[in-house]
Amino acid sequence: MTSSAPAIQIENLSYSYGSAEAVNDLTLTVQPGRCYGLFGRNGAGKTTTMKCLLNLLRPQRGHVRVFGLDPSKQEVGVTTWRHFGSAGTERRSTSCWSDSSLIPRSGPEVCRRVNERRSR
C-alpha cells in the first residue's frame, strides 16, 4: 500500500454476463480523500464495477486497484469510526489495512473477521 497510490484505480475494465456487456472499457481514478458516485440506469454496470473492486468478480479485461493493491491478491479494508477529542469535538478517523486472512468466503464470514480485527 503506497501513500501516493489512488484510492481507486480502474483501467480498461470490461465484464460481460454471457452476451450481455455490463462494463465496457471503463477507466476511472479516485484520489485519496475524494468522494465520487456512480450513477446510471439499471444494467449500466455500477454493481458489476463495485463487485470487481471488492473481489467478488474478477475483471475479464483490464484491472482494478484499491490503494495500490490488486483485490484479487490482497484483500483491502477501510474502517471509519467516530471519536471525541479532548475539547469534546467530534472527529472521524479512517484507517486502511490489508490482510490476506480476510479473503471473502461469505458475507457473515467477512463480517466476523472484520469484527475480530477491530477488537485487537
Per-residue pLDDT of 54-108, as tens digits, reads 888 999 999 999 888 898 887 666 555 555 556 666 555 544 444 444 444 445 5
What residue spans define the domains of the chain?
Answer: 8-66, 76-118
How far apart CA 18 and CA 62 sit, in angstroms, is: 18
Q: By the 8 A CB rule, do 69 and 98 touch?
A: yes
The per-residue DSSP string of 54-78 comes to: TTSS--SEEEEEETTB-TTTS-EEE
Write down the pLDDT at residue 94. Answer: 47
Q: What pLDDT is attached to residue 14?
A: 97
Nine cell digits for residue 87: 475539547
Q: State yes or no: pLDDT of 51 exceeds 70.
A: yes
pLDDT at 98: 47
DSSP-derived 3-state class of residue 104? coil
**pLDDT confidence tier of residue 30, bands split at 50, 70 and 90:** very high
List the one residue out of 29, 22, 96 whose CA is nearest residue 59.
22
pLDDT value at residue 29? 95
- pTM as predicted: 0.63
Instruction: Provide mean pLDDT across the span 18-29.
Output: 95
